[in-house]
Structure 1
Amino acid sequence: MAAFEPRVFSGIQPSGNLHLGNYLGAITKFVDLQESYNCVFCVVDMHAITVWQDPAGLEQRTREVTAGFLAAGIDPTKHIVFNQSQVPVHAELGWIFNCVARMGWLNRMTQFKDKAGKNRENVSTGLFVYPNLMSADILAYKATHVPVGEDQKQHLELARDTAQKFNIDFADRIADLGYGVDNLNRDATTDPEKVFFPQPEPLIGGPAPRVMSLRDGSKKMSSSDASDKARINLTDDAETIALKIRKAKTDAEALPSEVEGLEGRPEAANLVGIYAALSGKEKAQILGEFGGSEFSKFKPALVELSLDKLSPITDEMRRLMDDKSHIDKILCEGAEKASAIAEPVLDQVKDIVGFIRKA
């Protein structure tokens, strides 16, 4: 019996400006994964509308994320790049998973609690069942690996739970239809004839899994931050990037010579971490070079490095954004390739569940 083909699925929401945190925490990892896996990279625009989006802005940001993927080095001819809403399988499988996942699982999702806050009675139902759609995103491709940040690990656990519950609930039906697959991650007691979905494994972090705000080192860099000075957008020009780094919050002490010296100094730790990630070095190496230096010396070096690494990406993103038809063509072609994988999976799910479908 064949095993699951190793495949990576990951996506980024087009709900705000693509920024340095997205690049270092996710996109650079995506680029590296291309060498080892068949990859499916998705602009998850259906997730974005769990909170209200300006339609024109959503179109713009969907193309911007796509341009960021391409400019950073993702190859759409060898892998799949598409936007989620062009593949209806995500929505259909998401509904089926709404009926598989349990309310208790969703009630434990900390990200919903964080986003809803005290206003949870007025947020969209989409925000609540968001994790089930994420499960559908992953399992529609029977993805075996998912690069995730720390804040998404809980959602991946839910996808694993959903896959397991589906396999258990419909075990005999899966076997009767001959749809079982040898699960690479299965328990030794599991009959492979009764396994349909894999339990995807997390791939944690990029060179800087958690890039923090330039204005507050205790908060994650975010497109939703009210201050644009808190983040470096991948579309920022050289002058803007330089100004944001020069104005980034720091403390009055010199940089330490040892990594342990960064404890309790979140802004210093963040800037050193950004430098390390952009340079491909360890924090200890950076402090070996700059330990004892004031930020007045370190920041200009960080500006120079940032411009060296980011300017080519910014320039390429702008070039791509000037040709919307080219980006739309890539997304359309990617959606066709994604559908070719996902639609047969959904057809089999419908058979397993007991839906009558077109022959």
Structure 2
Amino acid sequence: MSRVFSGIQPSGNLTLGNYLGAIKNWVPMQDNNNCLFCIVDLHAITIPQDPGLLRQATREAVASLIASGINPKKSTLFIQSQVSAHSELSWILSCFTPLGWLNRMTQFKDKAGKNREQACLGLYAYPVLMAADVLIYKATHVPVGEDQKQHLELTRDIAGAFNRYFNVDHFPLPEPLIQGPAPRVMSLRDGTRKMSKSDPSDFSRIHLLDDAETIALKIRKAKTDPNPLPYDVKELENRPEAQNLVTIYGALANKTVPDVLKDFAEAPFSIFKPALTELIVSVLNPIREDILRLLKDPHMLDLCLREGKEQAQEISEKNLSEIQELVGFLKN
């Protein structure tokens, strides 16, 4: 059985992009794999956080995963900072990671921007922590979006370097899992940019906690072009906003983009947008209601997290002990 690891940041009120690009694809993996799903709060603090809001966002992320179909009885669901082996392995692996490898990471360049000299070490080195997240469980597969493939390649490079240095076959080289009809959901205001919680405009995204009225307003305001939807997929190539909305519809309806176009060919957006709104509300409203219900029962959430923490510790501490032995740390 494959061991699957994936994590999601608790950056507050997960979006439709998080759901379609990640969570929806994780749910069926639980049936045939040993899955570990992690709220990566250590990664979250590479950007300054309000402590109270971070704790709240972490609970919301846990509730959102459970409401979306992640079953704590099938999978290990836990918080990254509660399992210290992540941080310990990150330091060990950082000692086997050349600076040149980290210098090639495009996300640091994008996030640091012109203030690179003022960026924190954590933002620069977090790909090593990401590698530790995966390797501490000897995960064989990692669900990733297109923008995360470079980090998984680095994870494989680090695992290979460690194995070669000690002449062992300790770490498997994890394979990417890129699945689903909407691996990358784009902004509702700019179809060339990924839907993101960091976008200053709340109208660029749909949150899992948005109510039906808010969703309808955001879809009405979503950027489009004056042309009706085409018959042929190729005609969407230079229409990023139209392509994004059609892709979202297909992902939620479990249809291919060509099938969606068959249903709406030559339809203006005045017809397509209400249909899309109805579909989004029908999928997200039950999730929203379940999230709100779960957040009213923090004791139940804490119990799930405690069980997940214990399961994650059992796996990670055994692996960390083996790694420490290989490295040469003295044990009493």
TM-score, scaled to structure 2: 0.99
Aligned to 1:47: 43
Tell me how far apart the structure 2 counterparts of residues 101 and 206 of structure 1 sit (CA, whole Å). 32
The CA deviation at 1:242 is: 1.1
Structure 1 residue 357: Cα displacement = 2.2
2:310 aligned to 313, 330, 336, which one? 336
**In structure 2, what is the equivalent of residue 120 of structure 1?**
116
Equivalent position SS for 2:307: helix
Q: CA deviation at 1:36?
A: 1.7
Residue 322 (structure 1) shift: 1.3
Shift of 1:15: 1.9
8 Å contact from structure 1 (residues 87, 338) kept in 2: yes
State the Cα distance separating 1:228 from its structure 2 match: 0.6
Following the alignment from structure 1 to structure 2, what is the Cα–Cα distance between the partners of residues 44 and 265?
35
Q: Give the match for residue 186 of structure 1.
A: none
**Counterpart AA for 2:12:** G
**Which residues of structure 1 form unaligned runs of 5+?**
172-193
CA drift at 1:138: 0.2
3-state DSSP of counterpart to 2:188: coil
1:240 corresponds to 2:214: yes
Cα distance in 2 for residues equivalent to 1:166 and 1:278: 41
Is 1:145–1:202's contact at 8 Å kept on the other side of the alignment? yes
Instruction: Give CA deviations for 1:46-76 in whole Å, capped at 9, x if unaligned.
Output: 0000111111111111111111110111110
Shift of 1:134: 0.5
Q: Deviation string for 1:291-341 (max 9, x for gaps)? A: 101000001100111111110001101111111222122112101100000
Q: Give SS of 2:229's match.
A: coil
- What number of residue pairs does the alignment pair up? 332
Task: Give 3-state SS (helix, strand or coil) of 1:78's partner.
Answer: coil
Give the Cα separation in 2 of the matches to 1:139 and 1:253.
Answer: 48
Aligned ranges 1:1-359 → 2 under 5 Å: 6-171=2-167, 194-358=168-332
Tell me, yes or no, if the aligned pair for 2:79 and 2:309 is still in contact at 8 Å.
yes
Contact kept? 2:181, 2:256, Cα under 8 Å: no
Structure 2 contact 190–241 (Cα < 8 Å) conserved? yes
Aligned partners of 1:86 and 1:332 also within 8 Å: no
Taking only the aligned residue pairs, the percentage that are identical comes to 60
CA distance in 1, matches of 2:39, 2:13: 13
Unaligned runs of 5+ in 2: none
Q: TM-score, normalised by structure 1?
A: 0.91
- State the SS of the aligned residue for 1:254: coil
Distance apart, 1:100 and its partner CA:
0.8
Q: CA separation in 1, counterparts of 2:31 and 2:86?
A: 26
- Whole-Å separation in 1 of the counterparts to 2:201 and 2:179: 25
Over the residues paired in the alignment, what is the CA RMSD in angstroms? 0.9
More displaced, 326-335 or 310-319?
326-335
| Equivalent residues of 1:144, 1:201 under 8 A apart | yes
Aligned-partner Cα distance in 1 for 2:249–2:178: 20
Does the CA contact (< 8 Å) of 1:16 and 1:224 recur in 2?
Answer: no
Distance 2:326 2:230 in 1: 60
